Structures are given as structure tokens and as C-alpha cells.
Homo-oligomer: A and B are copies of this chain.
């Protein structure tokens, strides 16, 4: 099983509409990848590890798939439409991490 993690940097002028993200964007991605995307999850940054420090990421999203190939096959045809929705909830440029779930 693999996880696609989308990390939105907590820049000084970062804007992120978590309500839109969890009620519209992430369910839309899951629906577009129906049959391939097993789960969606999202988190709001609260803090960093050092006392008083800011969270490195204002928000993080996670999607799970059977394999990288399954993700690419399901996501690819909808990529342009999904990316076009990003400005509706944030002005940040996300970093993408594809991982194998180890535990």
C-alpha cells in the first residue's frame, strides 16, 4: 500500500481554507479516483517541535492507493481538474511525497 502525502508550506502569507479542503477538495479527489483511492485524511498544522515554533506545514493531506501505478492510472486523467481546484483553498504551492506504508 502506498500513501500520497500533500504538504502545504506554512509560509508567512499562507492562506488555507480547511473547511473547503475537507468538504470539497479531498472528497472530489477520492470520487475522481473511485475504486483506486482507499482513504483520504487531512491535518491542520498547530506547532513545530520546538517550544513556540510554527508548524512547518499549514496543512497536510493523505491519500492511499494499492501502488504507485494504481495512483498514476487513477489520478492522471483528472490531474488538470484537481490541480485547478487548488487556488480555491490555498495560495501555497504544495510539496508531494509518495511513500510506501511500512507500519
Contacts and interface: CB of A to CB of B under 8 A. Distances in A.
Interface in A14-53: 18, 21-22, 26, 40-50
Q: Contact residue range for chain A?
A: 20 to 34
A22 B102 contact: yes
A68 to B, nearest CB: 7
A86 interface: no
A98 B55 CA distance: 7
Nearest to A45: B99
Nearest to A23: B103
A62 B2 CA distance: 15
B96 A43 contact: no
A60 interface: yes
